[in-house]
Amino acid sequence: MMKKTIKYMMLAAVAMVMAAGCGKKGSEPDLPEGTGPVAGQWHLIEWSSLSDDRADIYISFGEDGTFDLYQRLYTPYYEHYDGNYIQDGATVSGTYSDGTAWGSSYTAVFTEDRSRMTLTPDGNGTAAVYEASDIPEEILSGSLSGTKSGIDGPDGYRFL
């Protein structure tokens, strides 16, 4: 009788482990992730600190180590910042053209097809998810910038 009880307990334990393993897999996205170069044009699609359409961010990372950041934060106009970045493995850091360092270094992780990139700041911070996307010409040309419209955006805050 004792052997049967132990046998059923073992079978139940194995079943619970298998069920827990299956449940965990089903709740995770089915997109393998990896690292790679950040070079390309990216559009912010998810960042929990921003809501509605109060913000819009585009970043272009050049293969030559330069970047261009186009940000619209709580204004109707885009601000343009540029500078240089360095990528060491999955870690990306940079400096704006005025010599100001980024607020953090970031870990870059990509979906297998490289259609999405997640930048997670070192230390405390919220990860931002970007989608590979061409930057619209009206943003690149500056026709949507506050300076062309005679209006300056909020000073000081830079997304990176």
Please indicate, yes or no, whether residues 99 and 129 belong to a single structural domain of this protein. Answer: yes
Q: Which CATH number does the domain housing residue 94 bear? A: 2.40.128.20
Number of domains observed in the structure of the chain = 2
Tokens standing for residue 69: 């950041």
Cβ distance 124 to 49 under 8 Å? no
Verdict on whether the full-model pTM lies above 0.75: no
Please indicate, yes or no, whether residues 87 and 132 belong to a single structural domain of this protein. Answer: yes
Give the model confidence (pLDDT) of 16-48 as tens digits. Answer: 333 333 433 444 334 345 788 999 999 999 987
**Whole-number CA gyration radius for the chain:** 22
Please indicate, yes or no, whether residues 85 and 133 belong to a single structural domain of this protein. Answer: yes
Average pLDDT over residues 1-16: 40
Please indicate, yes or no, whether residues 85 and 107 belong to a single structural domain of this protein. Answer: yes
Flag whether 97 is in a domain. yes
Please indicate, yes or no, whether residues 50 and 72 belong to a single structural domain of this protein. Answer: yes
Domain holding 1, by residue range, is 1-30
Please indicate, yes or no, whether residues 55 and 133 belong to a single structural domain of this protein. Answer: yes
Please indicate, yes or no, whether residues 73 and 48 belong to a single structural domain of this protein. Answer: yes
Flag whether 23 is in a domain. yes
Give the model confidence (pLDDT) of 82-98 as tens digits. Answer: 999 999 999 999 999 99
Please indicate, yes or no, whether residues 39 and 110 belong to a single structural domain of this protein. Answer: yes
Tokens standing for residue 135: 């930057």
Burial (0-12, 13-18, 19+ Cβ within 10 Å), 138:
exposed
Tokens standing for residue 4: 């049967």
Backbone angles phi, psi at 137, to 5 degrees: -60, -35
